[in-house]
Structure 1
């Protein structure tokens, strides 16, 4: 492979000594081509137009000492050699225009010449892989500049360095533990999700979408992502949280984007809005699927352009925030129903993580019980623990099929709080557990009854199995929510209808209702 060096012309160090005296002085770009054990096949010399004469002298001297080195000139425009943005922009343009051939050439990036600002920019461009190759640094021989100089090659592939790699691995482990709240978890899928989320949290400012059932921990995880980013100095603003289910009408637009005085009835003064409050921080929109279509359109622009229009204003505002969204709904199905914008979904689901329910990661139940006990102790100022019989009985019920955990970790938190509060002498006994198990059963049965809120007895004058009651109640509920039998049919047969070449969903619904002597029209009242 050919060895190619990329070097900035040193307007001071490469311009030392006049006439033959210049050979008595160390000049880094020339010395780069003087090493017997390092043959430079091609030198890419980068400089400003003002220094063409110096570049010609350096090129001629290199040809004299290393005829095999092909020196090529590259002009860049720099107005101020100490202006970071100007230097980085010029070198970035050079890097993007340069054609690297990594299969045939080995690249060295000379970082000895140029201002400190230029050297930093070269390092950053190399680290970002705009400039490819290893770094090389040269230095004069001690006491005698005419003697052979020294060079050192630095490979920034940090995975090659065990101590550095282990440090990054340790920091990664610390980050994942933090995102899990310090709770040891055994569920392989959840651990894999958190491991990747740790990397994304620290390397990307793009939107993150957290999905999963209510109580799976979306809000808590969003807070930990923010805190992790804040610890590493990646955000300076605050975490702003809002449950979109609480936003309706003018209030939604005003709460998110702010408003000006007089924008609507009751707007007696200007309001900043949540997006502006989240500037340089993180905005967490929980239940984003509840947002109206107008708010979704404005949010999309705010994500892409960092600009938005406060309600009632004729002047734009800006906010550089990172968005984390949460949803317990299937947003793709919301798109199909026309309730969620497909372009917004495409923008917010670059990084999507589905959090499992407590039942789906039941192997993590026990460490979460201990975590809840620790949280209770911090609040109450007193330690509480299970005795052996109580812990055994509670775990047996908690992992059984009977344990529904419908509200997931919220159910667990409430359960532990009740038992810890009632524990005699700070010990949760089998008797306390028995009372709690009875409480959980009542709560879950009441929830199930609420889910079957439709009383089928009002519509059907015949005894039905529980299975039929639940099924019929669900159908009646959909019918009540739908404008027509066709709409209700599309919702009820949303999967099977896709497998048919010809569908008549309303006919299928009519046939089902006829079994119970019902018609769609009578269910609307």
Structure 2
């Protein structure tokens, strides 16, 4: 293939101002690198130098075809002008990569020109490798020649460093826990990519206890490492912002508003300037506060309570919500314009019950955390560990509090472990405690769930069972999947395992069909 070199005329260097060394001329004298065509860009006021250089090249390298291109610059140090003219040059060039190999000579031209060459090469607008030449060193008679190929795919070590860094960022977002759940791992990969490249708001959805606050903290740490923020992370639970205290807490307050000493405050938005504002439970924020917040996010400015002058604060936003914001917006309980601003990047964290393959790793993590908190070494007896994981992974164990329930249970087990060993008896007692608490918490909730679908009075025996069936159906993608979960134990003892048919018959007892529950 023919070697083609593109470059600027060196108005100083190609005159031989550096000890007689001329970079463009020396380029045509490199052993093992034949320049078949040299295309030289120059300003018309330097035509004499360009034509003189062309004549010199014809003498020392007659096989090199030299083509001169007029490219007049009003200001060769103006990035916008230089890039635009080189971009237009590249667009009309007509590269033939099947027959020619292209190179850019970086040594000549202004630093702005060199930067523009690099950008066009790196973006593949010019499909070329880069060449850097230098004057002879020591007793050498020829100058230096370095060929730089920007195709990173050819550099395994560099690619491995990038891959390693990506894994490290993923580990940071997962808290160092080796998760196996494909849905969760894909979510973390997307979060890492978005948080590292974008300053747009991030919306984290999920049930209470799925780890939204912890993930927000780790996203902030990632942004800090990637130098996308400089300020601090300011966290606020919007469910605690009630009544007249909500606006001054968020936006600040001037003393002149009350006239009382000690009433002036900066506000959480001001504290988040240059950093990240995490708005947890944003679905609990009042409509007035939502409107003011939207303006502050979009404009980076707002009025503190009692102030006639705006305050500037620019921050990145992470929002967390338990409830469906789209449904709330449709019901008029959440501003649609704020939702549109927040949901460019939305990530829904899966519930603990949907990640059974991650329970072993999370158990090890919680044990380590409990050991640090208590200052002791703790371990499970083998039968106790098996019993706990069977319970934790069972389809009937719904973990309504998700990781809060799981973490609290492990801390209790570690605290009460005799001589640092968790026994089977302890595990059985903890399981009974969890189940008792969940039944008590669900007693009222069960009635509300059933009331949405059944308008007749049921026996107390049927209420928790039917409520569990309805919840399982609403979480499942098909009636067969719901049936497998509901009949997970008894199905093993049956010759026929038509779980869907069993579930249809059970629902029919209460006048229900599958479509009613998932519609």
Category of TM-score, reference length = shorter chain:
0.7 to 0.9
- For 1:77-156, what aligned pairs fall within 5 Å after superposition? 77=75, 88=79, 91=82, 100=91, 104=95, 108-113=103-108, 119=114, 123=118, 127=122, 133-142=128-137, 149-156=143-150
- For 1:178-197, what aligned pairs fall within 5 Å after superposition? 178-197=172-191
Matches of 1:372 and 1:63, distance apart in 2: 74
8 Å CA contact retained: 1:259, 1:310? yes
Matches of 1:163 and 1:10, distance apart in 2: 35
- For 1:211-222, what aligned pairs fall within 5 Å after superposition? 211-222=205-216
8 Å CA contact retained: 2:380, 2:421? yes
Q: What TM-score comes out, normalization by structure 1 length?
A: 0.74
* Shift of residue 351, structure 1, vs aligned partner: 2.2
Q: Deviations over 1:316-341 (max 9, x none)?
A: 33233222121112222222223333
- For 1:14-25, what aligned pairs fall within 5 Å after superposition? 14-17=14-17, 25=20
8 Å CA contact retained: 1:210, 1:352? yes
* Shift of residue 76, structure 1, vs aligned partner: 5.0
8 Å CA contact retained: 1:212, 1:218? yes
Structure 1 residues 101 and 328, CA gap change in structure 2 (3 angstroms)? farther
Q: Deviations over 1:136-187 (max 9, x none)?
A: 2122344689x66554331222222001111111111122112111111111
Give the length in aligned residue pairs: 453
8 Å CA contact retained: 2:238, 2:284? yes
- For 1:159-238, what aligned pairs fall within 5 Å after superposition? 159-238=153-232
Matches of 1:159 and 1:337, distance apart in 2: 51
Structure 1 residues 56 and 275, CA gap change in structure 2 (3 angstroms)? farther
* Shift of residue 41, structure 1, vs aligned partner: 5.5
**Secondary structure in 1 matching 2:305:** coil
* Shift of residue 305, structure 1, vs aligned partner: 3.8
Matches of 2:260 and 2:96, distance apart in 1: 69
8 Å CA contact retained: 2:205, 2:346? yes
Matches of 2:3 and 2:297, distance apart in 1: 45
Task: Confirm or deny that 1:302 pairs with 2:296.
Answer: yes
8 Å CA contact retained: 1:2, 1:105? no
Structure 1 residue aligned with 2:383: 389
Which of 47, 54, 58 is the aligned partner of 1:56?
Answer: 47
Structure 2 residue aligned with 1:37: 34
8 Å CA contact retained: 2:28, 2:34? no
8 Å CA contact retained: 1:76, 1:91? no
Structure 1 residues 240 and 111, CA gap change in structure 2 (3 angstroms)? farther
Q: What TM-score comes out, normalization by structure 2 length?
A: 0.75
Which of 320, 326, 334 is the aligned partner of 1:326?
Answer: 320
8 Å CA contact retained: 1:206, 1:350? yes
Structure 2 residue aligned with 1:75: 73
- For 1:420-431, what aligned pairs fall within 5 Å after superposition? 420-431=414-425
* Shift of residue 211, structure 1, vs aligned partner: 1.2
8 Å CA contact retained: 2:136, 2:144? yes
* Shift of residue 363, structure 1, vs aligned partner: 1.2
Matches of 1:326 and 1:102, distance apart in 2: 51
* Shift of residue 278, structure 1, vs aligned partner: 1.8
8 Å CA contact retained: 2:40, 2:66? no
* Shift of residue 450, structure 1, vs aligned partner: 3.6
Structure 1 residue aligned with 2:265: 271
Matches of 1:96 and 1:256, distance apart in 2: 48
Structure 1 residues 43 and 324, CA gap change in structure 2 (3 angstroms)? farther
**Structure 2: tracts of 5 or more residues without a match:** 58-63, 468-510, 512-519
Matches of 1:308 and 1:15, distance apart in 2: 60
* Shift of residue 368, structure 1, vs aligned partner: 0.7
Structure 1 residues 330 and 120, CA gap change in structure 2 (3 angstroms)? same
* Shift of residue 73, structure 1, vs aligned partner: 0.7
Matches of 2:151 and 2:449, distance apart in 1: 67
Matches of 2:34 and 2:143, distance apart in 1: 12
Structure 2 residue aligned with 1:440: 434
8 Å CA contact retained: 1:215, 1:408? yes
Matches of 1:123 and 1:470, distance apart in 2: 68
Structure 1 residue aligned with 2:506: none
8 Å CA contact retained: 1:95, 1:131? no
Task: Confirm or deny that 1:376 pairs with 2:370.
Answer: yes
8 Å CA contact retained: 1:62, 1:69? no
Structure 1 residue aligned with 2:23: 28
Matches of 2:271 and 2:341, distance apart in 1: 22
* Shift of residue 468, structure 1, vs aligned partner: 8.3
Q: CA RMSD in A?
A: 3.8
* Shift of residue 379, structure 1, vs aligned partner: 0.9
Structure 1 residue aligned with 2:406: 412
